A and B are shown apart, each in its own frame.
Chain A
Amino acid sequence: MKKNVFVPQIPYGTRDFLPYEANQKRVIESSLAQLFARWGYDEIVTPTFEYLETLAVGVDNDVLPNMFKFFDKNNRTLALRSDMTTPLARVAATRLRETETPLRLFYLTNVFRYEQAQAGRQCEFYQAGVELMGVPGPSADAEMVALAVEAMLDTGLQDFQISLGQVEFIHGIMDEHDLTPQQGWDIKQCMLRRDLVGLEEMLAKSGLTKAGQNILKQIPLLHGREDMLEKTYHLVNNPVSKAALDNLAEIYSLLKSYGVDKYVNFDLGIMRDLDYYTGMVFEGYTPGLGFPLCGGGRYDNLVASFGVQCPATGFALGIERVLLAMERQGIAVACAAKNIYIGWDGESLPEAIKQAAELRNAGKSVELSLLPQSKEEALASQQRKGYDELLYIAGCK
């Protein structure tokens, strides 16, 4: 090993986007921003860090240990945002409370979570997302799912699937059966951990009726299309779960009008790991990526935690995950064009600058050599740097 060689490190969970990757990211993000704008959404930017107590509103205690925290001059605790939904709920409840609803907002930004890095997710990662606030009911939820499908298609992915669930379906079943708060919590934890064996063991000890055990055991496996909803309807006896299924059916019928139903199926076992969801929830998957690409759902009480009743729904898409999925599926991102390389010789720099300016004004991307080159050198530079054409200027006085 060499001694005394200083190799600067970057912290765990961060990454550089070198020009090629940064370009891909830019292309996808610009395209998504245009898509969201076409659907009538306005961009919003909020602070990268806020008071911890603000970001902690309405989120469940599991999230807090994973926030990056620090102090301001007055020793108040600050935290980097770990998602955009809570900051947007704050904005909706305060700065935008007088604005006419529905509010349609989108963002493209980095968020921070101190957790084990995963495929396509470091501790700092990028999200594109939308929130639709002020409207309850299936029309808003259907718009979310349809827009999520369009966003995936927009990035270039062809092969993906969106699964819809409804957290009220699960709550209804849990309430229908006599569970102690501890049992309810344990069962929910097993479902969140996707531990079906643990769930079965716990139910066997719970003293619930066989029928009750069976339905709870089946929740994580209730997966399919419309006919599954139909069948499930007859399995449950409580109004809350039935209403949740009706809600999904209504959303689905609107998705048919949007023409995106072929990308959508149902999975009643989906429980997003954030506690603020209150209705429909969904996740998007694509082959070759072991983690969901996007996710979201309805959160009717979060804005109320900031003092204003405001039903809301939204979703976010992981930019790095999209890039990773595209790479694995061999889908090329249309990179920004590199049009013309200008080489020059002798006294020709002023002329070359003039020509470069004209071409740039005409919308071309132009790289101007900063040193004189022979024609052969200029040709080699053009090819190495990947420009479509060479413009060589020589012999000017």
Chain B
Amino acid sequence: MTSADMDYLTIALPKGKLFAPSVDLLSKIGVSANDVHEKSRKLVISNEEKKVRFIITKTGDLPTYVEYGAADIGIIGKDVLLEESKDVYELLDLKFGLCRLMVAVPQALKKDKISDYAHMRVATKYPNVAERFFREMGIQMEIIKLNGSIELAPMVGLAEIIVDIVETGRTLKENQLLEIAQIHKATARFIANRVSMKMKFDRIHGIVEDLKCLLESEDKQ
């Protein structure tokens, strides 16, 4: 078992763009193991000496692993946390992986205000975030859940609007999409299971403090 083992700390890392900086950051505070890389064939990578285990999961699944206590702690983007709304501790903003969740439309479709877009179709990987955002704006939309290449949807008439994450906005420009509203800024977050946070408090809190110090010292440089 993983988190049932009180001696070990199980850390979940997400595949994708947050993986490398996460491994890098943790290794700087001495939380590491040999062979932690994204293409690892091993599903659970242990460091017997430091009593840590790493598991590598799909991004969208990571909060679930932590919520159920299959992993004690993890690193994941705020965008995923907003979408999944799992009951986990969000302990620290790690500052890297900055992107923003936003609403965009084809330039030709631009309207004066958000409510003018009511009842249009929204393509997104983040149906819950999109639903919440438009509800708070007081408008109803038809949400279409996709798993990737969201920009394609308005080009081929699957949807009029998209809700997606962007880093630089270049993809938007290339596809003649215009950002009309920002929903949330997102960076990588350090999260913990609510029971692990109590039962392994000293270790987890120690890591958080180390990470905080590290981030502050990097900030100053």
Contacts and interface: CB of A to CB of B under 8 A. Distances in A.
Interface of A: 118-119, 159, 161, 163, 193-198, 200, 220-221, 223-224, 267, 283, 285-292, 328-329
Given A197-B92, A289-B69, A291-B69, A223 B3 contact: no
A292 B199 CA distance: 11
B68 A290 contact: yes
Contacts of A328: 1, 4
5 contacts: A119-B68, A193-B90, A287-B3, A287-B6, A291-B194
A196 B199 contact: no
Interface string B171-194: 000000000000000000100011
B198 A161 contact: yes
Contacts of A119: 68-69
A328 B46 CA distance: 21
A287 B6 CA distance: 7
A194 B195 contact: no
B195 A290 contact: yes
Nearest to A283: B198
Interface string B78-112: 10000000011111110000000000000000000
Sort A-B residue pairs by CB-CB distance and give the 5 closest, nearest first: A290-B69, A288-B4, A194-B89, A290-B68, A285-B195
Contact of B193 (A221, A283, A290, A329): A290
B104 to A, nearest CB: 25
A218 B70 CA distance: 27
A194 B66 CA distance: 13
A223 B195 CA distance: 13
Interface residues of B, number: 28
B205 A197 contact: no
Contact of B199 (A194, A197, A200, A285): A285
B49 interface: no
A194 B70 contact: no
A289 B1 CA distance: 11
Contact of A267 (B4, B88, B193, B198): B198
Given A290-B67, A290-B193, 17 more contacts: A119-B68, A159-B6, A194-B194, A194-B197, A197-B91, A197-B189, A200-B93, A220-B89, A223-B198, A287-B195, A288-B1, A288-B3, A288-B4, A289-B69, A290-B3, A290-B66, A290-B194
Most chain A beta-carbon contacts within 10 A, residue among B87, B92, B189, B205: B87
Nearest to B87: A194
Contact of B90 (A118, A196, A288): A196
Contacts of A159: 6
A148 to B, nearest CB: 15
A74 to B, nearest CB: 34
A356 to B, nearest CB: 44
A292 to B, nearest CB: 7
Contacts of A287: 3-6, 195, 199
Contacts of B197: 194
Contacts of B4: 287-288, 328-329
A197 B6 contact: no
Contacts of A195: 90
Most chain B beta-carbon contacts within 10 A, residue among A161, A163, A196, A289: A196
Contacts of A288: 1, 3-4, 69
Contacts of A292: 194-195
Most chain A beta-carbon contacts within 10 A, residue among B1, B66, B69, B193: B69
A197 B93 contact: yes
Nearest to B65: A290
A287 B69 CA distance: 9
B88 A194 contact: yes
A200 B4 CA distance: 31
B198 A196 contact: no
Given A194-B88, A197-B90, A197-B91, A285 B198 contact: yes
A161 B200 CA distance: 11
A324 to B, nearest CB: 11
Contacts of B5: 287
B204 to A, nearest CB: 10
A159 B87 CA distance: 23
A119 B189 CA distance: 24
A288 B69 CA distance: 7
Contacts of A197: 78, 90-93, 189
B90 A194 contact: yes
Contacts of A291: 69, 194-195
Nearest to A329: B4
Contacts of B68: 118-119, 290
A290 B64 CA distance: 10
Contacts of A193: 90
Contacts of A267: 198
A197 to B, nearest CB: 5
Contacts of A223: 198, 201, 205
